[in-house]
Amino acid sequence: MMKMKKQILTLLLSAAALLHCGAQAKYVFYFIGDGMGMGHVNAAETYNRDILGNPDPLLMMTFPVASQSRTYSASSPVTDSAAAGTALSTGSKTVNYRLAMNPDSAMLYSITRDFIAAGRPVGIATSVAGDDATPGAFYGHGLSRNDVLDIAPGAVGSGVSFLAGGSFKILDAEGDAGEKWLEAMRKDGYSVVKGSGEYHALAEKDKKKVLMMAPTDYWDQIGYTIDSIPGALTLPEITAACLQTVSANDRGEGFFMMVEGGNIDWAAHANDGGAVIKEVLNFQDAIRHAYDFYLDHPDETLIIVTADHDTGGMALGRADNHRDIHLEYIDAQRQSKDRFADLCRERKARGEELSWPEMQRYLADMLGLGSAIPLTDEDMRDLKETFDATFITGDAKDQKTLYNDFNAFTAKAYDIQNRHIGIGWTSNNHTGNFVPVYAIGPGSELFTGNLDNTRIPMLIRRAALGE
């Protein structure tokens, strides 16, 4: 009798397991932290625990599946965002700089097409340009990611319901390409709005939306969390708008959303550790919108969080500061390295002289150098010499990175700050490091083990569409 009961129980359990495995994800959230390597997550996690005093790990780290992905491209162990975006959206490797086209220039198609064909609305959102490599790989194509005239037009007729970014590069192109693109999008049924005020004023009948930031002089991206720019869109806000639009378009089949935390990469290219940590925490706030949705629909919602590549090789500990870690110094930083460099450049352009005492006050106020962060005599000498070489004699060379040219003084000040914090960098570009993969919800068990980045979209399709 006992044995029979046990057999029935085993049978019931395996039937339940089968049912669970067979359960398809109706709602899919795909989060891509651009450039978010293991070191970035670890630094944010340590700051969250030791400085903010949060007993719980980062939200993504609480997901039951935590694995890793390889990111190499068809042309290098170190991928760029276009080849990585292509892998994460289409499931195929390509050469660096190519977007959703293979090394022989044949078209590759994003899994978003399959979701749209299955009647599931698709939303694509980022904090950087909406036609940059990562978002672009989900609806557009290009022989090079720099062919900005080719990528955004891929959205016309794509069937994507929601598309958001700080701006769109095509709008900065010479001639009327930007205007023509907007016209084509409007003809295709999109309402194009700038800023959250205009977004919320949209009527119920506006089903397809393009959201970007109200015009500012602030690059193509929405600005860094650490700079708290008044009136700027935030990634959590964009994510909520995306979720609202795809939900409104859902006809009962579910939806698919891709959200990119693009500023993590920008801050890492700048080797700006404080800005990276604040961006990862902001990315977590965006993920929280999906997680709240998951809590309401736990049997139908799949959340994947990963990165396209590591940027900067960021780590706690560095060659000149092994383990004297002071993440509390980040609380004294009130300005990103990019913003600091821009302000120096603007003052120079206006012909305004910067004096050393004024700069010392500025460093203390905005970066904590000499106030929260005690400086050595050698630090002071180093800063003064670099100040003279940058602003007085003009002998110092700029530090050039993907997104900005930093004057030597800015580079020096942030390097000294990073040294005192204990954050090290191996590059101001991408690295070949593994990136994390976190997953929760039906189908998340597929994402265990060592993954290749090309497997991720294929597994998402299997979990959600059963293909």
Name the token pair of 286.
């965006």
Structure tokens at 368: 């904590």
Is residue 308 part of the contact set for Zn ion (CB under 5 A)?
yes
Would you say 132 and 262 are in contact if contact means Cβ atoms under 8 Å apart?
A: yes
d(CA 424, CA 83) in angstroms, rounded, equals 26
Q: Give the nearest residue (CB) to Zn ion.
A: 81
* Cα–Cα separations (whole angstroms), residue 357 to 306, 340, 370, 387: 45, 17, 12, 11
* Three-state DSSP state, 171: helix
Q: Could you give the CA distance from residue 210 to residue 123 in angstroms, rounded to a whole number?
A: 10
With beta carbons less than 8 A apart as the criterion, state whether 154 and 90 touch: no
CA separation for the pair 258, 250 (Å, rounded): 16
The residues, ordered by sequence, that sit 6+ positions from 118 with a Cβ below 8 Å of its Cβ are: 253, 465
What's the rounded Cα separation, in Å, for the pair 164 and 209? 8
3-state secondary structure of 242: helix
Distance between CA atoms of residues 25 and 272, nearest Å: 37
β-pairing verdict for 310-311 and 162-164: unpaired
Task: Please state the closest distance from residue 81 (CB atom) to Zn ion, in A.
Answer: 3
Q: Is 132 a binder of Zn ion (CB under 5 A)? A: no
Measured CA distances, 451 to 39, 319, 434 (Å): 18, 31, 10
Token pair 């942030």 is at which residue? 414
| Residue number with CB closer to Zn ion (262 or 424) | 262
Q: Which stretch binds Zn ion (CB under 5 A): 150-158, 171-179, 244-252, 300-308?
A: 300-308
Residue 165 and residue 131 in contact, taking contact as beta carbons nearer than 8 Å: yes
Q: Which stretch binds Zn ion (CB under 5 A): 11-19, 73-81, 348-356, 376-384?
A: 73-81
Tell whether residue 81 is a contact of Zn ion (CB under 5 A). Answer: yes
Smallest gap from Cβ 93 to Zn ion, in A, equals 15
Instruction: Mark residues 438-467: x for contact with Zn ion by CB under 5 A, - for none.
Output: ------------------------------
> Could you tell me which stretch among 136-144, 220-228, 304-312, 401-409 binds Zn ion (CB under 5 A)?
304-312
CA 247, CA 232: separation in Å to the nearest integer? 24
CA distance 66 to 246: 27
Partners of 162 in beta bridges: 123, 209
Q: How many residues sit close enough to Zn ion to count as binding (CB under 5 A)?
A: 4
Cβ pair 129, 145 in contact under 8 A: no
Binding positions for Zn ion, 4-63, rule CB under 5 A: 34
Write the CB contacts of 35 (distance below 8 Å, at least 6 apart in sequence).
264, 265, 268, 269, 307, 308, 309, 310, 311, 312, 430
Smallest distance, Zn ion to C-beta of residue 303, A? 20
Q: How far is the CB of 311 from Zn ion (least distance, A)?
A: 7
Q: Minimal distance in Å, beta carbon 312 to Zn ion?
A: 11
Contact positions with Zn ion (CB under 5 A) in 380-419: none
**Stretch in the footprint of Zn ion (CB under 5 A) among 67-75, 213-221, 303-311, 389-397:** 303-311
Compute the least distance from the CB of residue 219 to Zn ion, in Å.
16
| Binding segment toward Zn ion, per CB under 5 A, in 42-50, 81-89, 123-131, 357-365 | 81-89
Nearest-approach distance from CB 240 to Zn ion, in angstroms: 23
Residue 193 CB, nearest approach to Zn ion (Å): 26
| Closer of 69 and 81 to Zn ion (Cβ) | 81
Q: Which is nearer to Zn ion, 81 or 239 (CB)?
A: 81
Smallest distance from Zn ion to CB 79, Å:
8
Question: Which of residues 284 and 311 has its CB atom nearest to Zn ion in the complex?
Answer: 311
- Kindly indicate which of the ranges 38-46, 74-82, 91-99, 385-393 contains the residues binding Zn ion, using the contact rule CB under 5 A: 74-82
What residues between 237 and 266 interact with Zn ion by CB under 5 A? 265
CB closer to Zn ion, 36 vs 413 = 36
- Least distance to Zn ion, CB of residue 265, Å: 5
> Would you say 151 or 240 has its CB closer to Zn ion?
151
Span interacting with Zn ion, options 77-85, 159-167, 244-252, 266-274, rule CB under 5 A? 77-85
* Binding-site ranges for Zn ion (CB under 5 A): 34, 81, 265, 308
